[in-house]
Amino acid sequence: MKWLIIIAILPILGCSQPSEQLSMGEIEQIKGDIIERSEKHASDLENMDFESVMTFYAEDLIGFGDGYYWGDYLTMDGIWRDLLGEGGWKKILKWDLQTHKVHVFSRDAASYLVEFDHEHLDDKGDTVRSSGCFTYGMQKIDGEWKAVTAHVSHTPFRTDDDKWWSKYAPSNRDK
């Protein structure tokens, strides 16, 4: 009976182990590829290139933002189509990304978090500034990294003094 239990448990334990081991070089390459893909997405936004912007997202995308379920790929398509098209933003002045954090799960799956800061001209010509964070579930699909899940949080501009949590950040810890 003990052997039967052990034989039944072994496959379960085997499933909990990673099916592949990646080298540090492979992990760093994947991180770099995802960051490069995201920077291209930001560049496509600055260029207001709707078609290229949408290649960042997988067709089965799930999106949340600012505390709400936003929708799917078609929702994202509608959002960017409105903002980048006629009657939307006149011009994107900048779309900067910083503090890239990638956690690699496998050769084709990773999580990616990044802060953004951008400025655009609205339909009246006024400059609008926004910042926040994106959290993406990234999957390699047909050889290209795509967002399969997306979460965005928009935050008001904060000075360094307003960032109360920063005293706990790795860069501010006593060494």
The tokens for 149 are 């899940």
> Is the entire prediction scored with pTM above 0.85?
no
Determine contact, residues 123/89, Cβ cutoff 8 Å. yes
Per-domain residue ranges of the chain? 24-155
Taking 70 as the threshold, does the pLDDT of residue 89 lie above it? yes
Distances from the Cα of 163 to the Cαs of 79, 123, 132, 157, in angstroms?
29, 31, 13, 10
Taking 80 as the threshold, does the pLDDT of residue 3 lie above it? no
Residue 37 makes CB contacts below 8 A (sequence gap 6+) with 56, 144, 145
Residue from 142, 148, 156, 139 nearest 30 by CA: 139
pLDDT in tens, 112-142: 999 999 998 888 888 988 899 999 999 999 9
Fold of 24-155: Nuclear Transport Factor 2; Chain: A, (3.10.450)
